[in-house]
Each structure stands twice: as C-alpha cells, then as structure tokens.
Structure 1
Amino acid sequence: MRILHTSDWHLGRQLHRTPLLAEQRAFLEHLLDTVQNENVEAVVVAGDVFDRAIPPLDAIDQFKWILEELAGLQVPLIMISGNHDSPRRLGVNARLIEHAGIHLRTSVEDCARPVVLQDEHGPVAFYGLPYLEPGLVQTQLGAEHASHHAVLSAAMDQVRADLAARPSGTRSVVLAHAFVTGADTSPDSERDITAGGVPSVSASVFAGVDYVALGHLHRCQKISERIRYSGSPLAYSFSEADYRKAMWLVDLGSGTALTARKLLCPVPRPMRQVTGALQDMMTSADYAQYETCWLHVTLTDPDRPHMAMERLHERFPHTLKLSFAHEHQIDGQSYRSRVQGRTDHEIALGFLHHVTGIPATRAEQDLLQEGLEKVRTEAAAREAN
C-alpha cells in the first residue's frame, strides 16, 4: 500500500503578520498532484491541521476544499488532531464524513478504533492517536502518571491489544502527535508541550508497529526506518530558513517490507536571514538575490538608521523582521540566543535566579513546574471545548 505522510499544515497561520493562505493553497495543490502522479492509496495527516483552536474562516474554507478534492479522487484520508487543533471542532461530523473516505481521529475513545484498508497483500490497520494532553486523559487511559510517555504508552497498549485480535498478517500504521526523543526541533516554530517536566517520549513506545507517521516537529526527519516525521509543508519561522520541506511516500509491502522516499515540497518564496549595513544592502549587487525573499534583516550600523524598515522595503518588499546587531546584547550574547531551546520552566527559573540572586530550591522548582502545567492544562481544556 502506498501512503503519503504529511503533517503540521497549520492552516490559517501567519508569518510575522503576513497571511500564508496562497502559499498553503500551493502546497495543497501540490499534495493533490502528488496523490495522482504517484498513485497514492492513502493520505495520512499527523496533526496540527489548523494553527489555532478557532481557525479563521478562510482556513476552514481551505480545509473544506482539500477534503472535497480527496473525496472526489476516492483516496482515503486519515487525520488526527494536534496540540494546535481543537479536537471537538476538528472532529465534528467525523462519523458522517467517514462515508466519503475521510477519517478523523480526535478523541481518546478512537485510539484503538482503526481505519482498515485493503490492498493485494491484505488488510492495513491505521490507528490515529490524537495529541494527548496528559493532565486531561490520564484517568481515561488508565495511565500511571500524567506524563507524555505514560499516556502514549497506555494508548499504544490499547492499539497492540486491538491489533493482536485481528487476522494474522494485518499490517499496522500509527499516526501520533508527539515529541520523540532524539528528534531535531525548530525553535520559534513549535509550541512547547512539556508535561511532567519531560516533553519527549521514547521511540520504544511504538514497538510492534509497521510504520509510525509522526507530527508536531517541523523538520522532516527519520527517527528509525519505521518511525518518521514529515515536518511542516512550509517554513513557519526563520529558524527553518535553511531546511527543505518534504513529505514521505511510504510503500508497505507484504509482511514487514517497507520503503520510504522523501518528496520535496514547493518553495513559494525563499526565506533568508541577512546581515549587513543598511547602505550596503540598498546599493550592493551582492544582495540582489534576496529581493524576492522573505527576509529577517540584521543591520550592523553602529546607530539605528532612520526609517530603516521603510527604506529596506524599497528594495526588499518582503522584509518581515528587522533586528539591530548592536542592541539588546548582554555579555556579548543576545537574550534571544540565551533562551533559545530552553523550556518555559527553565526560563522562569533563570529569571527567578536573576532577580533574587539565589537558585530556586527543589520545592520552589516543583511548585513552579506545577503552576506552569496547571496553566497549560487549563488552556488545553479550553481549546478542546
């Protein structure tokens, strides 16, 4: 069975207040072309379909359009909700639209209810594990702890139990939205999902499955031959400027045979980070290559130039972000670079140490972690509703 694995569409997202609807539409058209040209038999989307729980209407229109197009091609679609989605909103009418080959998995109850498709080698069971907020689903899943590892392990136990009861030779695909240990992140692009002090889960959680289609992290990457992230189809922050976006074309053969091929996504507009003095950038031919790019410009002028952004737009109309190399430097290192890659808990502890002059005690660290997780859980519960 030939499967197209994608994720993290983030429909409705903006890039520094610039709408990306046209660029997202270009990707979806590319996806449809790929489905037809590569004879895809199933499309899987591993979460974060929308960028926020209540998406704008034009994003909903794009979503409606792609579902209609795939249904018209009679290509099954299996999709889960991610941490940016509202499970209840995304999953509305899910049972009804299954008749059109659109399979949405957005609730805990559906983790062990697979979509079963057939090919010449027999059945393939697709299990959709939506983003599981530990504090909300621990009891429902019977997990030992309110952590990502514990709730995903409990969900996978249900998957394996269901799979064991199916005919011998049934192949399996799991869709999950999680941060798997060893994967590369994209700073400024992905929302922190820390719970229980640990945001990641071990790849061993998914043992016994033929293929795991992951979402959440925005870089296309391979955890193992059978566990992969497709990443987002577009770069959603300048931290992703140097990474090509892609999808995985996965072929499940008979038995345990599997091959996967990376398919590059179109680049509607290149994204670059450029450093230099304003006058040089406005006049030098060396910068001509950036005139049509989305830009993050860092100016090296010793003083802040007057109307710098307005002047940059004269030559580089797609400049989205402007920084100044001589400003906001502390001990030779910017605040942004000092906190990059750190969790909210670590940043807050660093601030507390800076203000009080003494490190937080273990009790204070635990109390702060409890408070952060309570806030995040309450926010997730509001979005889920």
Structure 2
Amino acid sequence: MRFIHTSDLHIGKTVSGFSMLEEQKAALKQIMDYVKERQADAVLLSGDLYDRSVPPAAAVTMFDAFLTGLSEMGVTILAIAGNHDCGERIGFANRILEKRGLYLEGKLEAPVRFVDIPDQWGFVRVHLAPFAKPAEVRSLYRCEGSMKTFEESFEEILRHVTYSPGGRDILMAHQFVVNQGLLPELSDSETRVSVGGTDQVEAALFQPFCYTALGHIHGCQQIGKNPVYYSGSPVKYSFSECSHRKSVLYGEVGENGKVTLERLPLTPVHDMRKIRGRLADLILPEVVSAADPEDYILAVLTDETELLDPIGTLRSVYPNIMQLKWEKRAVEQDDTVIHDDIMKEKGPYGLFADFYELVTGKTMSEEQEAVMRETAEQAEEEVS
C-alpha cells in the first residue's frame, strides 16, 4: 500500500497580517501532483486541517477543491481533526462521504474507527484517532477513577483498538509525542495544550503499529527508533521555521508490514528568511538581489541611531517584509522568549507550585496538589 502523509495544513492562517492562502494553495497542488505521480493508494491528513474552529469561507473553498481533486483520482482520503479544528464540522456527513473514499473523522469513537485499504498482500488497516482531551476520553470510554494526562487517555484508547490479523496497522493521531521524555523539535507556530507537561505521550505506546502518522508539530521528524513520524506542516508559519525544508512523507507498506519512507520536497511561492544589518546596507541592490526580494522577511536592524520610517524603506525593496526588529531590542526580546519557554514548559500548575513555595516556604500537600491540578485543568479547558 502506497501513501502520502501530511498534516497541519492550517488552511486560512495569517502570519503577521499576511494571508497564507497563496502558499497553501501551491502546497496542496504539489501534494496532488505527488499523489498522481506516485500512484498513491491513500492520503493521510493528520489534523489541524484548518487554522481555527470556524474557518473563513475562502479556506473551506480551498480545502473542498483539494479533497475533490484527490477524490477524482480515486485515492482513499483519511483525515482526522486536530486541536485547531472543530470536530463536529470536520466530521459533517462523514458516513455519506465514505462512499466516495473520503473518511473525515472529527470526533473520537470508542473503539477507534479503522479503515481497511486493500493491496496485493491483503489490506492495511488505518486507525483514526482525532485529537481528544483526557476528559473526553474518560467520558467516552466510561472510565472509572481519574484520568489526568494525555498519555493515560491514549493508553485507554489503545486498549480497545481492533488490530488487523496480518499485523499491518497504521495509526493516525494528533498528539504531542515525546521519546523517553525528550521533546521533539518545536517551532513558535505550534499551540500546546499543556498543564505541567500533561499533554506528553510517549512514543513507545505506538510500538504495535507498523507506522504512526502524527500531526501537531510543524517540523518533519522521527520520534524514537520506531516508525513514529511527524510529517510537519507543508508551509512555514513562523520565522523559527526558516531552516525547515518543507515536505510530505511518501511511504510503502510491504508484505511483512515494514514501511519504507521518502521525503518529497515542497517548494514555497515565497520562502521565509531573516536578514540582518544596517538599513543602508540591506537596501543595496547587490544585497537585495542576492536572494528573492519577495520572500517573507524578518529584518533585524543593527543601526544605533534613530531612523525615519525604516519599515517603509525596507518595504520599497522587500514588499513582503513581515517583521522588523532592532538588534538591541531583539536581545531584550530574547530574554522574554526564554522566560516564555519556561512558562510554557511548567504550565499553570508548575508556576503556582513555585509561587506557593516561594511565599510559604513549604511545598504543597497531596490534597492541595490535587485541588490545584483540577483547578488548572478546568481553567485550561475553559480557555481552549
């Protein structure tokens, strides 16, 4: 069975006021070309199909055209909702669409729904696990006792999976997966759903699958030694992704379930890059022409004196400049970024625990910890 794996389309996203629809349309066109060229049997879309739960009309129209084009090729399309998507909207009319080979799984089912895709050795079973919070899993599976973490909830989900008799199983999931506590390579454009690290799921859980097609992280990467892969987003959505080489993953599942993978590159309409220097130097013709001046630009100015309308001056030669920083201010901002990273990692519970110890000189009791964790989870659910 031949497949294309991608995720985190975030159709309808804007970056620094710039619509990414043109970039997204070009990336989707290239994906369709690869599907046709490689004669793929299936396309796996592992969540965050849209950038927000209620996408703009232009985003819906673009995604509709993409799905229609794939459907006309006769390829099986399997898509799950991510944390940015509205599950009910993604799953609308999914039982009707199945008849055209289009499987849109918006809400988690118990047990996890699967689709068997035939090939020359029988079939490959693809399991669809859209994003769901522990509270949703606890309710859906009628679990007794507490279920606080995403890992606990995924352990429960996998306990009820119906594996194929041939052992050729693929899992599609949209989770924050780690390898023995080691975090994946992250970027600034990802949104984590974390209370003290409770969103982490260990990659070892996916050992029964011959391939795990993940979404959620925007850089293409393998997690651990098993075939557990983030495809990464097909478009760059932050300047922390400047070094990324965007791609999709093409895989073939052999007779024994072994998967061979290949990264297929995607070419952006406009790349995303950083430039640094004095304003007068950055607008020199030889500097401007050294790369595509229509790239999306973050400019870091090293000038020590005040400048008159530097953004306007830069935009006269770099029409798609997105951000402007001064080096001195950038250093100050770097401190803030480090501080923000610590805050994101600790989460509301960890920050309160530090605050409590600082004020009282004591650590919280088990009863206090339980109350605080429950309060932090409720607050997180209300915000998200």
Report the equivalent of 1:150: 152
| Per-residue Cα deviation, 1:149-203 (whole angstroms, up to 9, x for no partner) | 01111111111xx11xx5x315211100011114523332100121464321111
Report the equivalent of 1:177: 174
How many Å apart are 1:35 and its aligned residue? 0.6
- 1:12 partner letter: G
CA spacing shift, 1:133–1:150, aligned 2, 3 Å: same
TM-score (norm 1): 0.89
- 1:254 partner letter: E
How many Å apart are 1:288 and its aligned residue? 3.0
Task: Say if 2:95 is the partner of 1:95.
Answer: yes
Query: Match of 1:289, SS?
Result: coil
The answer to whether the Cα contact below 8 Å between 2:197 and 2:345 also exists between their aligned partners in 1 is no
Distance in 1 of aligned mates of 2:184 and 2:42: 27
- 1:176 partner letter: A
Report the equivalent of 2:247: 246
Report the equivalent of 2:290: 289
Identity of aligned residues (%): 27
How many Å apart are 1:334 and its aligned residue? 3.1
How many Å apart are 1:110 and its aligned residue? 5.7
Report the equivalent of 2:123: 123
- 2:125 partner letter: A
Specify every segment of 5 or more residues in structure 1 that has no aligned partner in the other structure, as ranges: 381-385
CA spacing shift, 1:371–1:241, aligned 2, 3 Å: farther
How many Å apart are 1:370 and its aligned residue? 4.5
| Per-residue Cα deviation, 1:254-308 (whole angstroms, up to 9, x for no partner) | 0222211111112221111111111221226234334221111111112342211
Distance in 2 of aligned mates of 1:176 and 1:359: 42
The answer to whether the Cα contact below 8 Å between 1:123 and 1:170 also exists between their aligned partners in 2 is no
Distance in 1 of aligned mates of 2:134 and 2:57: 30
The answer to whether the Cα contact below 8 Å between 1:328 and 1:335 also exists between their aligned partners in 2 is no
Distance in 1 of aligned mates of 2:334 and 2:352: 16
How many Å apart are 1:365 and its aligned residue? 7.9
CA spacing shift, 1:23–1:341, aligned 2, 3 Å: farther
Report the equivalent of 2:134: 134
Distance in 1 of aligned mates of 2:298 and 2:375: 35
Distance in 2 of aligned mates of 1:245 and 1:115: 28
How many Å apart are 1:117 and its aligned residue? 1.3
CA spacing shift, 1:375–1:185, aligned 2, 3 Å: farther
How many Å apart are 1:214 and its aligned residue? 0.5
Report the equivalent of 1:383: none
CA spacing shift, 1:329–1:44, aligned 2, 3 Å: closer
**Number of corresponding residues:** 373
Report the equivalent of 2:379: 375
CA spacing shift, 1:124–1:317, aligned 2, 3 Å: same
The answer to whether the Cα contact below 8 Å between 1:215 and 1:229 also exists between their aligned partners in 2 is yes
Distance in 2 of aligned mates of 1:102 and 1:69: 12
Q: C-alpha root-mean-square deviation of aligned residues, in Å?
A: 2.6
- 2:123 partner letter: P
The answer to whether the Cα contact below 8 Å between 1:329 and 1:335 also exists between their aligned partners in 2 is no
The answer to whether the Cα contact below 8 Å between 2:251 and 2:260 also exists between their aligned partners in 1 is yes
Distance in 2 of aligned mates of 1:360 and 1:91: 51
Query: Match of 1:173, SS?
Result: strand
How many Å apart are 1:229 and its aligned residue? 0.8
Distance in 2 of aligned mates of 1:295 and 1:264: 22
| Per-residue Cα deviation, 1:192-228 (whole angstroms, up to 9, x for no partner) | 1214643211111112111110000001011234211
- 2:259 partner letter: L
Report the equivalent of 1:56: 56
Report the equivalent of 2:228: 227
Distance in 1 of aligned mates of 2:346 and 2:74: 47
Bigger shift: residues 150-159 or 342-351: 342-351
Report the equivalent of 2:11: 11
How many Å apart are 1:38 and its aligned residue? 0.6
The answer to whether the Cα contact below 8 Å between 1:269 and 1:294 also exists between their aligned partners in 2 is yes
How many Å apart are 1:338 and its aligned residue? 3.6
How many Å apart are 1:66 and its aligned residue? 1.1
Distance in 1 of aligned mates of 2:51 and 2:154: 23
Matches within 5 A, 1:246-325: 246-283=247-284, 285-290=286-291, 291-325=293-327
CA spacing shift, 1:318–1:328, aligned 2, 3 Å: closer
- 2:329 partner letter: E
Report the equivalent of 1:326: 328
Bigger shift: residues 202-211 or 226-235: 202-211
CA spacing shift, 1:310–1:37, aligned 2, 3 Å: same
| Per-residue Cα deviation, 1:24-44 (whole angstroms, up to 9, x for no partner) | 111111111101101101000
Distance in 1 of aligned mates of 2:349 and 2:148: 22
Matches within 5 A, 1:60-79: 60-79=60-79
- 1:376 partner letter: E
Bigger shift: residues 9-18 or 262-271: 262-271
Report the equivalent of 1:81: 81
CA spacing shift, 1:328–1:233, aligned 2, 3 Å: closer
Distance in 2 of aligned mates of 1:218 and 1:127: 22
